[in-house]
Amino acid sequence: MVHLRRSLAAIMALALIAPLAACGDDPKPTFTEPAAAEPAASGSASGAPVPESTTVASPVSLTITPAKDKKNVPVSSEIGVKVSGGEVTSVTLKDAKGKAVSGEMREDGSSWVPSKPLKTKQTYEATVVATGQGGASTTQTTSFTTMGEPGRRTGTGLYLFDGNTYGVAMPVVVEFNPGIKKADRAEVQKRMFVETEPAQPGVWSWTASGTQAYYRAPEFWKPGTTLKVRIAVGGLPTGKNIYGDRDRSATSKIGRSFEMKVDNGSKKMTVVQDGKTVKTMPVSLGKKSTPSSSGTMVVMQKMAETVFDTTDTDGADGYRTEIQYAQRLTWSGQYIHSAPWSTGDQGRRNVSHGCVNVSPSNARWLFDKTLVGDPVTVKGTGDKLEYGNGWTPWDVSWEKFAEGSALKAPEGLG
């Protein structure tokens, strides 16, 4: 996990949603004051004076980056610090007009991160003060000039809206276009900051293509959690001569716990809210030729009304149908939705094109209760959910998920 010492201001959030597809297609201790001791006699037992203690100031060594007078520095640059014999007590970064730039130290003390990308073709001056034991200090100053506008950019997206409330399984999802190659992922991941309150440390994990990265903790988020996210890749080198398009950020909340559990054996959905079963309902899943996927999914999108249209992909075998209360689970087109035409089959047999069919009244009840980010688990269909087909980080073990991180996961998680 990578995060800042203090929270960062949210800038904005961009949500990207794939084109609509139909079913199947795509804690101060108290101390007792001790009795006052008799004052000690002046001098030693022999009458000789006692020498006063002396604190010797330790030497402090400090090196900072970027190097002095360095040109063409990316606007994502941090003020790197290497200090021995003390710690950094002050970092000041000013632009050419003398205006101070805000920022914060990384938790590990390795660098100071500006709170937003620097401006292109601008000269900046950084002053760093490090203080050692005994009060000795040293100051280092450097100046550098940022690069111009890059020719190529990596498009980015953050699947969180500032101020929104999500379900307990909502992963932080970031998208990159083009995808980030393995050799570049560690540097990009270092600039992807997540802070949770209460604290629930997690890690980032990349999809094989590098087009998406997910962040989650070992368990679902605690209800009421605040997520503060900053994807600080604006101007960051993301590959050979490619740079991130912009910073993206959001501060969001996690709501109550609401889980939907679908069992193909019984052909029923069990709804559990805050640990208690609140409703069960019959379902019809995908028929043999178009089976539903088994796995742990997340509600990705909600639409009160939409149209499922597979005529472009399935030709004469395709269909176009108006749908109500649709909740997307996969990119390939698996939804929970109202299916008045299959109410007689629900609880008895599977007749859908891969979706979870429920009655109109149950579909409406669910739609009014759910949040984007609520978990949906389907089991017993015989068809395994493909990782990356939707927001799937909960469909693998914590150990497997953490293997996808480009950086070493914090010890003790899981």
The top-level CATH class assigned to 153-255 is mainly beta
% the chain with pLDDT above 70: 85
As a whole number of Å, the end-to-end CA separation of the chain is: 13
Question: How far is CA 79 from its chain centroid?
Answer: 24
Report field, pTM of the whole predicted structure over 0.85:
no
| Token pair in block for residue 117 | 């990308």
What angle is formed at CA 44 by the lines to CA 40 and CA 49, rounded to 5 degrees?
105
State in words which class domain 61-146 has: mainly beta
The full set of domain ranges for the chain reads: 61-146, 153-255, 258-383
Please tell me the predicted confidence (pLDDT) of residue 134.
Answer: 83
| pLDDT number for residue 319 | 76
Per-residue confidence (pLDDT) for residue 82, from 0 to 100: 97
Residues forming the active site: 337, 355
Q: What is the pLDDT at residue 60?
A: 92
Query: In a 10 Å sphere around its CB, with 0-12 CB exposed, 13-18 middle and 19+ buried, how is residue 183 labelled?
Result: exposed
Topology of domain 258-383, CATH: L,D-transpeptidase catalytic domain-like (2.40.440)
Count CB-CB contacts under 10 A for residue 79: 24
- Domain 258-383 in the same topology as domain 153-255: no
The H or E element that residue 194 is part of is: strand 192-197
Low-confidence stretches of the chain (pLDDT < 70) are 1-58, 313-316
Residue 254 sits at the vertex; the CA angle it makes with 249 and 260, to the nearest 5 degrees, is 125
User: What confidence score (pLDDT) does residue 413 get?
Assistant: 83
